[in-house]
Amino acid sequence: MSIESIQNIDYVILLCSDVDNMKRFYQEVLGFQLMEDRNDWVKFRIGSGYLTLRPRGRWYDGDIKGEGASVQLSFRVPPEGVNRAHQQLIERSAEILESPTDQSFGHRTPYFKDPERNILEIYAEI
């Protein structure tokens, strides 16, 4: 096996300052299915992959400085789901950055933030 044999991303790990707050957001705002909760490792199933939360604190994690985002995550929905997802985000008090917009790169997207300033998008191909 080699690096060239990588075919997909199985899971993404978000390094968190406050895992409990992030867990609430991904469970309550986005409604993701909790698969595992060990306090230091919280895993959600999203389609065929996983989103995992773990505390920041290992020597190689580094520090987060400033108010900028660390990562942008994109979640795909069918075209008819974009506006409804946006409405649900508003109802669940998500911090909206941009309302649904037809982007020049062929996606319709609203952008929003999670509690640790990561940029999230729900998108559909148009």
pLDDT of 44-101, one tens digit each? 999 999 999 999 988 888 877 777 788 999 999 999 999 999 999 999 999 999 999 9
Q: Which domains does the chain show, CATH number per domain?
A: 1-57 (3.10.180.10), 71-126 (3.10.180.10)
How much is the pLDDT for 4?
A: 84
Pick from 9, 1, 26: nearest CA to 113: 26
Q: Residue 110: what residue type? A: P
Can you tell me the distance from the alpha carbon of 46 to that of 66, in angstroms, rounded to the nearest whole number?
30
Percent of the chain, pLDDT > 70?
99
Pick from 47, 69, 81, 65: nearest CA to 113: 69
Q: Which two tokens stand for residue 72?
A: 């942008």
pTM (predicted TM-score): 0.88
